[in-house]
């Protein structure tokens, strides 16, 4: 059975916050990771809080 379709693999998501799921989607997205790395590289001190 494909583990992504297994009910056991989704049990931990039952208590997950929406922001946790959104963060996981961003973390797995290659374009998002690339954009984040570019943002860090373009920040003189590595601070991204003002961006």
For residues 11-34, one letter each, b for 16 or more C-beta atoms within 10 angstroms of the residue's C-beta and e for the rest, the string is eeeeeeeeeeeeeeeeeeeeeeee
pLDDT at position 2, please? 52
pLDDT tens, the chain, 51 aa long: 455 677 877 787 788 899 999 998 998 999 999 998 998 888 887 666 655
């Amino acid at each position: 059975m494909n583990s992504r379709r297994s009910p056991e693999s989704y049990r931990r998501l039952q208590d997950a916050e929406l922001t946790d799921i959104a963060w996981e989607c961003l973390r797995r997205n290659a374009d998002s990771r690339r954009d984040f790395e570019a943002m860090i590289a373009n920040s003189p001190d590595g601070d991204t809080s003002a961006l």
